[in-house]
Structure 1
Amino acid sequence: MNWSEICIHTTQEAVEPVSHVLHESGASGVVIEDREDLFRDWDTKFGEIYDLSPEDYPEEGVLVKGYLPVNSFLGEAVDQIKQAINHLSSFDIDLGLNKVTVSEVNEEEWATAWKKYYKPVKVSDRVTITPTWEMYEAVHDDELVIELDPGMAFGTGTHPTTVMCIQMIEKYIREGDSLVDVGCGTGVLSIAAAKLGAAKVHALDLDEVAVHSAVINTKLNKVHDRVSVKQGNLLDDTPSEQDLIVANILAEVIVTIPEEALKLTRPGGMFITSGIIGQKQAMVTEALEKAGWTVMETIEMEDWVAIAAKKPDRVD
């Protein structure tokens, strides 16, 4: 089968929402080509990045590429993708050039091209993420290795927003904690939480494809006895008295749930949020504080921000 490559020339801010649009449209895999990758100070002791060629990257901005099968519905699908991406501007998301191009690729070529860039990556003091097709053995006794197969769901676990979430989970989680992962994607945050000591993890995603991928990955990492994956919208039907709630989703969505998250979290519990572009940090912080959360820590990576907030030990 031949595939059509849908390439959107956009900005770092728009990478996640554009990727989501592609997946919602049935794109089988997403490739992100960001020229900034050429100039980052990569930790390569695990061999995770190699042979990056400037010719593979745009002169400015970011290329987000999705893949659809070549069939009679292709033209309609491309038009819907363009409309959905244009609609993102109503959320005050900078789309940059927002140039969409379409080209045809061979299935074998597509299936292997993106994998050469996905290698084992140490994302925190204890957690290393490796794709299932790479042979990797833990370097240290306390190292926790997550094997991940993204399949058709969004998320290899190496995006700055995911990395920061894992770092914060590692810092704030305690043995035996309960946790909710809002918008779980491939399940990487849920798996990390379980490996770091969570006794019960509720992984939620509205996307059926993501739920299927998360179920596979929790079994692959042998944490399916502690991670329950369910299709659901945000915090709907979430059990109360949670120790942590983690939401690596768009800032515009995060600001809609702080009040509900506060009700579902035990006194002293934590709310860890990411997926926040720097310019929207103040908006999220304001929503958290207005709902009654106390911001404990903010970390930044590239243009992204993650926030850890605490529910007061006593709520009057």
Structure 2
Amino acid sequence: MEWTDIRVTVAQKDAELAEAAATMIAEGGIYIEDYGDIEEQVAEIAHVDLIEPELLEKPRDVVIIHIYLEPGAQPAETLAAIEARMEAAGIAYTVETEGVEQEDWQNGWRKYYHPLEIGRRLAVVPSWQEYDTDRVKLLLDPGLAFGTGGHETTGLCMEALDELVQGGERMLDIGTGSGILAIAALKLGAASAEGVDIDPVAVRTAVENAALNGVESQFRGLVGDLSDQASGTYQIVAANIVANAIISLSPAVPGLLADGGHFIASGIIDTRADEVEAALKAAGLAVKERKEKRGWVCFICTAA
């Protein structure tokens, strides 16, 4: 089957707004090409020879957003929606379209995904690659779900989990995506984890990744609106989402935390960090640590 690949190119400074707009438009899938920090990523990867040389030649000042339309869809409607949203946001962009086979776009991203070592204990490894390490190995096949460990927001969350998980915890992952955070917590020794996401495709992917890592009996994937599927209290609650969602979610978090529990909030661009921190404090949470990496912020909180 031939799908339509709509490629929207924007400047790095507009990437967050453009990605958010594209996510609202996309129906058949979305894929982001962002090489702005490729040198830093190379430095963080143990086997540098795994990096494709062509990646180092990619442009650093732009982001390319691929929106995929299934066979029979009308590209004109999506192009009109892109134009409306980009103009409303004041984002300069260019757009191209191309027909691609389903296999091409579903698997083409794999050549850019390589093992990552995160924190003191974790290594995130693509399910189709061999990787010898003494670290706790988390096998991952993200499919169409968000969360490979390579993005700063996910990496910051995993570093926090590496520090917080001591063994035996009950964990809640809000906006679970690929399930990477819940599975990481389980592999580090948590007793159980629940992953909640509004996207049923993401939840299915998370369940599959839990099975891939041998923790399916400890993981429960739930389709729902952020925390509405939560039950009881948790020693660790993580939300790697966006600033607005964290602000909206904050008032419910203290009721989800067990005594001495921690809330990990990430997905926050640095320009909105103060606003999110104020919302967390207003909700009755104490910010114990602020982690930052290349323009992204993660807060580790406890009940005040």
Q: Deviations over 1:138-164 (max 9, x none)?
A: x22xx1111111112223221110000
Alpha-carbon distance in 1 for matches of 2:41, 2:211: 34
SS in 2 for 1:136: coil
C-alpha spacing 1:16/1:72, structure 2 compared with 1 (3 Å): closer
Within the candidate set 35, 52, 55, 1:50 is matched to 52
**1:228-307 superposed matches below 5 A:** 228-307=220-299
Say if 1:30 and 1:154, in contact at 8 Å, map to a contact too.
no
Alpha-carbon distance in 1 for matches of 2:147, 2:44: 20
Alpha-carbon distance in 2 for matches of 1:73, 1:279: 37
SS in 2 for 1:164: helix
Alpha-carbon distance in 1 for matches of 2:103, 2:228: 40
Gaps in structure 2 of 5+ consecutive residues: none
Partner of 1:224: 216
Partner of 2:109: 114
Partner of 1:5: 5
SS in 2 for 1:300: strand
Which sits farther off after the overlay, 282-291 or 34-43?
A: 34-43
**1:28-177 superposed matches below 5 A:** 30-38=31-39, 42-47=43-48, 48-53=50-55, 55-57=57-59, 60-83=61-84, 89=89, 96-107=91-102, 109-137=104-132, 139-140=133-134, 143-177=135-169
RMSD value, Cα: 2.4
Alpha-carbon distance in 2 for matches of 1:204, 1:158: 21
Within the candidate set 18, 23, 32, 1:20 is matched to 23
Q: Deviations over 1:265-299 (max 9, x none)?
A: 12321110100000000011000111111111111
Query: What is the TM-score with the length of structure 1 in the denominator?
Result: 0.86
| AA in 2 matched with 1:43 | E
Quick check: which one's helix share is greater? 2
SS in 2 for 1:306: strand
Say if 1:121 and 1:129, in contact at 8 Å, map to a contact too.
yes
Say if 2:142 and 2:205, in contact at 8 Å, map to a contact too.
yes
Within the candidate set 207, 213, 218, 1:215 is matched to 207
Say if 1:21 and 1:84, in contact at 8 Å, map to a contact too.
no
Partner of 1:92: none
Gaps in structure 1 of 5+ consecutive residues: 90-94
Identity of aligned residues (%): 30
